[in-house]
Amino acid sequence: MRTLVPGLTRRRFLLAAASTTVVSLAWTPGVAEAAAAEAAPVAGGASRWLELVNTHTSEAISLAYRDARGLVAPALSKLQWLLRDHRANEAATMDPLLFDQLADLAAAAGVEPRYQIISGYRSPRTNALLSGAGRGVARHSLHMEGRAIDVRLRGVSCADLRDLALGDARGGVGYYRKSDFVHLDTGRVRAWAG
């Protein structure tokens, strides 16, 4: 298992996670209505986990981000660093509902939640550069708000992942067949192909 923290074994992580304080985050204005859902503990006391590999930095992490008490703050910090804007080396708060969406989509597909990350947070400067270069990037992208992620799910075609996300109807779903990834966000429900 590869992690962002050298020497951190699964056992050490679980012991540390059990002894840490779990916090509820209302991460930005405008999502206060989702705060209760973000902090909600997992039914039955089971942990929710993700394995993410950043395709640009080759960093990988596998961790539980939510447990019986709610969100695990140290795990959220590690996820946010992995999902940083690699061009600017800037991290930002990510909407925890994205992590729930990833976990739920993997469960619906019948696979472990192991994702390749193409893009997470994007700084306004990076977004402007990509948008100006005609890279199919929206000027007011939800990536700049930490509310969007571009992914591939191991063992599932991107077309199938798109279909699952469309059926889930939790936000925007973009399918980029040529580049082979799916955009997911926590904005209004909509769909497009790029």
Question: Does any domain span residue 2?
Answer: no
Question: Does any domain span residue 56?
Answer: yes
**Can you name the residues that pair with 28 across neighbouring β-strands?**
none
Task: Indicate the Cα dihedral angle 3, 159, 141, 66, nearest 10°.
Answer: -40
CATH of the domain at 18: 3.30.1380.10
Both structure tokens of 101: 């969406």
Report the C-alpha gap between 25 and 36 in whole angstroms.
9
Domain count, the chain: 1
Question: Does any domain span residue 20?
Answer: yes
pLDDT of residue 132: 76
More confident residue, 136 or 7: 136
Mean pLDDT of 155-175: 97
Question: Does any domain span residue 1?
Answer: no
Question: Does any domain span residue 175?
Answer: yes
Report the C-alpha gap between 24 and 72 in whole angstroms.
9
Question: Does any domain span residue 4?
Answer: no
User: Per residue in 33-87, pLDDT tens?
Assistant: 344 455 566 655 679 999 999 999 999 999 999 999 999 999 999 999 999 999 9
Question: Does any domain span residue 5?
Answer: no
Mean pLDDT, rounded, of the chain: 83
The residue behind tokens 């889930």 is 168
Which residues span the domain enclosing 33?
10-193
Percent of the chain's residues with pLDDT above 90: 69
The residue behind tokens 């590999």 is 53
**Strand pairing report for 190-193 and 70-71:** unpaired
More confident residue, 78 or 24: 78
pLDDT of residue 31: 40
Question: Does any domain span residue 189?
Answer: yes
User: Per residue in 181-194, pLDDT tens?
Assistant: 999 999 999 999 98
